[in-house]
Amino acid sequence: MTKSASDVSVSPPRRRSKYTVAPLVLIAGNVVLFALFFVWPAVIGLVYSFTNYTGIGAFQFVGLDNYSNLFGDSIFFDALTRTLLYTVLFVPLNFALSLLIANVLVSKHAKGVSVARVFFFIPWLLSPIVVGVLWRWLFGENFGLVNHVIEKLGGSAVPWQSNADLSLIVVVVAASWAWTGFSMLLFIAAIKNVPTSYYEAAALDGAGPWRQFVSITLPSIAPTSFIVILLNTIHGMKEYPLFASLNNGGPGTSNNLLVQYIYQTGFKSGQIGYASAASFVLMLILMVVAIIQMMVNRRVENR
């Protein structure tokens, strides 16, 4: 008797659950794709990370050797720290730029917003390869416009390409420039959702624009800020094509990031097993980042 009563109370899902064939037909395509190109690679990647597989022929299980070798591998360690440094520089710069631009774009005082928006958006359309080429053209050591101008003004040419740190900074600026359009869109949507009455009340109390921004806008868009930081962190950790075209991971190998390291050990040296182990370290880092973000986000939202 109680059973039928509970059935009545959950009647909408039960009514829907008559339809099992149709939804399964609808998701069939993506289920196959998911199994083939997500589950299968994830499983064999995990398995191969414990082997000495080279892509062809037989392989042996080597236990945790790949992982313990990784921790003694100074090239891997350099790539890892360089990737973290790149991400730590890229995420705040992009965050600040896109938040600033989003605020200017939603300001009711600025004129020509709909045209100006296109200027911020076009860099996002360009491929990372083209962005790299474009900034290489600006910051070329012997031929770039920037050094031309510096020399015209009486300075000496800055080694944008042969100094590893300057080279990294050029990539950070280029990436922040290119990725602004995306973060900006998320911020604009969030800022537009803040109730107007908050700003009116604050203005009545005499709060200036900066105070309104700090006390109203920033707390109101906190969930979006976390999403932007999370997405940009993941984006930064897996950057490769931008480096490939801007400085080819150079000078030398000083700006080789993790994905480039994985690509080179896996495909140039044929150490698929070892590269898979490096991939799983990258995956673990991304998962830790995501979990930390979610925990912080939940705490902020509950406050």
Partner 1 sequence: MTTTDTPRKVDADSVPAPSKRRYPSGRSGGLRRAVPATTLLWVLAAVYGFPVLWFVLSSFKPAGDLFSSLSLFPDDPTLSGYKAAWGSANFSQYFINTTIVCVIATILTVGVSCCTGYALAKYDNKWLKAFFLCILATTMLPGEVMLAPQFLVVRDLGLYNSLAGIIVPALLTATGCFMFRQFFLTVPDELIEAARIDGARELSIFLRIMVPISRPIMLTLAILSFQWRWNDYIFPLLMLNDPDKFTVQIGIQSLVGAQNINWSVVLGGSVITMVPLIVVFLVFQRYVMNADINAGLKD
Query: What binding mask, one character per residue, do residues 269-288 give for partner 1 by CB under 8 A, x or -?
Result: ---x--xx--xx-xx--xx-
Q: Kindly indicate which of the ranges 1-9, 83-91, 159-167, 191-199 contains the residues binding partner 1, using the contact rule CB under 8 A.
A: 191-199
Please give the structure tokens belonging to residue 7. Answer: 């059935």
By rule CB under 8 A, what string of x and - marks binding of each residue 134-153 to partner 1?
xxxxx---xx-x--xx--x-
Q: Which residues of 238-270 are buried (b: 16+ CB within 10 A; e: fewer)?
A: ebbebbbbbbbbeeebebbbbbbbbebbbeeee
9 sits in which H/E element: helix 2-9
**What is the C-alpha to C-alpha distance for residues 144 and 134, in angstroms, rounded to an integer?**
10
The least distance separating partner 1 from the CB of residue 35, rounded to whole angstroms, comes to: 9
Interaction of residue 127 with partner 1, rule CB under 8 A: yes
Instruction: Give the interface segment with partner 1, choosing from 1-9, 21-29, 67-75, 158-166 (CB under 8 A).
Output: 21-29
Coil vs helix vs strand at 58: coil
Q: Which stretch binds partner 1 (CB under 8 A): 57-65, 67-75, 86-94, 240-248?
A: 240-248
300 binds partner 1 (CB under 8 A): no
Please say which residue, 1 or 136, places its beta carbon nearer to partner 1.
136
> What is the spatial distance between Cα 130 and Cα 127, in angstroms, rounded to a whole number?
5
Q: Among residues 31 and 88, whose Cβ is nearest to partner 1? A: 31
CA end-to-end span of the chain, whole Å? 43
**Which one among 214, 267, 269, 298 touches partner 1, defined by CB under 8 A?**
267
Span of 41-49, 58-66, 76-84, 86-94 interacting with partner 1 by CB under 8 A? 41-49
